Structure 1
């Protein structure tokens, strides 16, 4: 006895294929949204405060699971005005950070930083002198284009304790510039921070 296919078999199979495709698409979008929310985010550079390291309109990937911010890291954080911002970590909780060196260098725990590799060409490490001990759990952040960056120098001087950025406000560490493609770069921590204890 021969088995014959029913006319209704084909449409059922087609419906199953469409359902599978939609399910896979929804699953893929869900995974992408979870990764974006908890693991890797994308950040757009809106200003010139990090020139020449980051140009206006650059886009970077941010690792949200990178752990505690360290000296030299480029971090995205909830800024002083509540907006997402990007700056470089210069000093962490407990550090003594100053700009009062006769050779016009920023020092961290008495160690002068050689900032030539990332500081905007022709810029001084700071316009005004400062000297702070960073409170535990807080960060001292500066833009690489110091004369065009409203950073910890300005906010701590003007706002006192309210001017510090908490480690908890850090969204993640920038680890890769992916746009524009011709300037793609994996960010390395500057060697000068290895000398700070």
Structure 2
């Protein structure tokens, strides 16, 4: 009898009492809801962090350093098609001026491209955002060239040895594309103050200041239109590093008074 009573007691103890089953089910429901809320919060946190990072990168590229995709061969061999370069947007922000030999990105509106060109604003915004991150080709108004003359310089093509002269001093342009002549287009210009004379390194494939001499902008680019200086290669990884320096302009004397 004692053994049977013990078995009955054990059997009764395993049966849920009043309300015990409901508490167990509600506990499981609460656990599931807690898991679901935790999952949602983790996704919200991830999305929020991603959005914050995207905003930071966008602001950084717009005001400090901007990736720039090279769309053409006009700056070969210095810059190749498909290169991603990093443009220092602070280079000329604090009173510094572009110097001869600098490779710069600039807005060619009014100089290389006529003003008033319109595009779909939404498309322009999306493309501009992608271009600012180096994911798309730059806007049709953005160009990358080398500064050959600054305000007051007299730039002439060419001397008896077919070299470009700046302020009477011939240039030995070590950055030119192999086999290219410094210029097959003769010109003689005094660069107006506050503007720049721009040329590509691949002269036979570059539309630059020479090609816009007879247009309203006169071929020169206002310093105010300069976006920044190209200082580094960002891609491909095999070329990662700073742009090579040139001493082509080291012996060029200071410009005299501007006649422009």
What band does the TM-score fall into relative to the shorter chain? 0.7 to 0.9
Matched, 1:43 2:68: yes
**Number of matched pairs:** 190
Structure richer in strand, relative to its length? 1
TM-score (norm 2): 0.66
**Separation (CA, whole Å) in 2 of partners of 1:114 and 1:47:** 24
2:159 aligns with 101
Residue correspondence of structure 1 range 13-24 to structure 2 within 5 A: 21-24=46-49
1:144 aligns with 201
Q: Secondary structure at the match of 1:177?
A: strand
RMSD, matched Cα: 2.2
**Separation (CA, whole Å) in 1 of partners of 2:143 and 2:46:** 39
Say which one has the larger Rg: 2
1:114 aligns with 172
1:183 aligns with 239
2:148 aligns with 90
Unaligned runs of 5+ in 2: 1-29, 114-139, 255-260
Does structure 1 retain, via aligned residues, the 8 Å contact 2:146–2:201? yes
**Separation (CA, whole Å) in 1 of partners of 2:170 and 2:235:** 33
Which moved further from structure 2: 21-30 or 47-56? 21-30
Q: Secondary structure at the match of 2:181?
A: coil
1:126 aligns with 183
- 1:75 aligned to which of 98, 104, 111: 104
Does structure 1 retain, via aligned residues, the 8 Å contact 2:197–2:219? no
**Separation (CA, whole Å) in 1 of partners of 2:150 and 2:230:** 17
Which moved further from structure 2: 186-195 or 124-133? 186-195
